[in-house]
Amino acid sequence: MRIAVVGASAAGVAAAEALRRFGWDGELTLIGAESHVPYDRLPLSKRFLSGAWTQERLRLRDAEQLDRLGLDLRLATLATALDPTDRTLTLHTGERLRCAGVIVATGGRARTLPGAEGLTGVHTLRTLDDAHALRTLLRAAEHLGIVGNGVLGTEAAAVARELGVEVTLIGRTPLPMSRLLGDEAAALLARYHRTHGVRQLASKSAEFDSARGRLTGLRLDDGTRLATDSVLLAVGARPNTEWLPGSWDTSDGLLCDEYCAAAPGIYAAGDVARWHHPVHGRAIRVEHRTNATEQALAAARNLLAELRGQPRQPFSPVPYFWSDQYDLKIQGYGLLADPDSVELAVQGDGSPRLAALHGRAGLATGVLAVNLPPRQLRDLRSLIVTPTPWRQARARFLDAVTPTDGPG
């Protein structure tokens, strides 16, 4: 029998490796929509975009490593349907694959804006081909407009400025990454981008001006017109779920249980998966690289356990993300988005160093760090491994970040 992994990026490759490591010796099919050998998307907006990395360094595994997995590797191939009753995949070629199990790891695709389709000068950054086009542009462009001031937009802004390109960063909120960082930490990040020459604007909408199919400018909701012929849309990603059964809940990724199962024998991992987190007691979807790998291992382990009639293990990670911008190393653990309580501690007067504790509904749920040493970050992580009452976690947080007097 066959197990099929649909999606050949970080989660898909990790799932395939885990299946072999955990003892699957049957046929193993890895299906990828792109023609490129599996590559890591994370450096696309950083080291690859800047030119520090070549395309070869993006490869998740070399040819020998892939060969050792004994894969039936199908690149430039789309899954177009999945029948959950007998776990049959239909491919765009019309071929049907009957499977013992399926792991869905199809990730997402870049969102765009109305009017962007087919307009020269408008870019997204999700695939290797996207990154090649944007990297080529930055070698010649004088100005880049970036619509979206989340993680991707701010990372691209930092790279563009380091390459000498003028940047205008446009967000729905005035402060970059504010939903993830909270307003105080986002204000510090905004000031840091300003010191590097990034112009920052706020607008709920952006409309395109064009001539003969080429971008000539952007119009913002307050009437401001930005003259530019190069724009990066960094407005989020849409999970690739359209090919899945319409009876399933795919309103924000593929809904799974605490074992990462969407149905018997069908599991999901990575950006496409929204699963019930047993510690937080609700369904979450995490678009971060570390989660893709960890969840792929959990999905592979649980799929094989189901096929063997063995107990499965709930997937309950502490989510982790990081972002490199200029000389800033931004890291976060737990659930950071949309906090209703934030305790911020700024350390030092030079290059920014800060820590923040985030909470919701009376519980501490996440910690944020900028340029903190690993040992201190590990100490902060321990505060939110399980949701802790805010007052208790806040007191421990302040103890952890308050400098102690040295001998004197």
Residue 194 per-residue DSSP state: H
- Provide the token pair at 30: 């890895």
* CA 387 – CA 359 distance, rounded (Å): 9
Q: Which helix (H) or strand (E) holds 323?
A: strand 320-325
The answer for residues whose C-beta is within 8 angstroms of residue 211's C-beta and 6 or more apart is none
Residue 276 per-residue DSSP state: E
pTM check: above 0.85: yes
Structural fold of domain 2-45+57-109+238-308: FAD/NAD(P)-binding domain (3.50.50)
Contact 336, 358 (CB under 8 A): yes
Q: What is the CATH number of domain 327-401?
A: 3.30.390.30
* CA 80 – CA 93 distance, rounded (Å): 9
Q: CA neighbours within 13 Å on the CB side: how many for 218? A: 29
Residues 332-371: pLDDT tens digits?
A: 999 999 899 999 998 765 667 899 999 999 999 999 999 9
pLDDT at residue 348, as a whole number: 63
* CA 184 – CA 122 distance, rounded (Å): 32
Above pLDDT 70, what percent of the chain? 98
* CA 202 – CA 221 distance, rounded (Å): 9
Residue 20 per-residue DSSP state: H
Superfamily of domain 112-233: FAD/NAD(P)-binding domain (3.50.50.60)
What mean pLDDT do residues 270-279 have? 96
Residues 132-190: pLDDT tens digits?
A: 999 999 999 999 999 999 999 999 999 999 999 999 999 999 999 999 999 989 999 99
Contact 126, 41 (CB under 8 A): yes
Residue 321 CA: distances (Å) to CA of 110, 111, 145, 159, 230: 19, 21, 25, 19, 29
- Provide the token pair at 93: 């070629």
What mean pLDDT do residues 371-396 have? 91
pLDDT at residue 408, as a whole number: 38
Residues 89-115: pLDDT tens digits?
A: 999 999 999 999 999 999 999 999 999
pLDDT at residue 404, as a whole number: 55
SS3 for 247-272 is CCCCECEEEECCCCEEECCEEECHHH
Environment class of 361 (CB within 10 Å of its CB; exposed 0-12, middle 13-18, buried 19+) = exposed
Q: Give the DSSP letter string of 46-68.
A: THHHHTSS-GGGGBSS-HHHHHH
* CA 377 – CA 182 distance, rounded (Å): 18
What mean pLDDT do residues 28-35 have? 97
* pLDDT over threshold 50, residue 406: no
What mean pLDDT do residues 247-257 have? 97
* CA 72 – CA 75 distance, rounded (Å): 10
In the chain, where are the structural domains located? 2-45+57-109+238-308, 112-233, 327-401
Residues 185-242: pLDDT tens digits?
A: 999 999 999 999 999 999 999 999 999 999 999 999 999 999 999 999 999 999 999 9
* CA 223 – CA 202 distance, rounded (Å): 12
Contact 323, 330 (CB under 8 A): yes
Identical fold, 2-45+57-109+238-308 and 327-401: no
Number of neighbouring beta carbons within 10 Å of residue 230? 21
* CA 118 – CA 116 distance, rounded (Å): 6
Q: How far apart are the first and last CA of the chain?
A: 71
* pLDDT over threshold 80, residue 120: yes
Q: How sure is the predictor about 375, in pLDDT bands with cuts at 50, 70 and 90?
A: confident
* pLDDT over threshold 80, residue 407: no
In DSSP terms, which residues pair with 231 in a beta bridge?
122, 145
* CA 309 – CA 267 distance, rounded (Å): 16
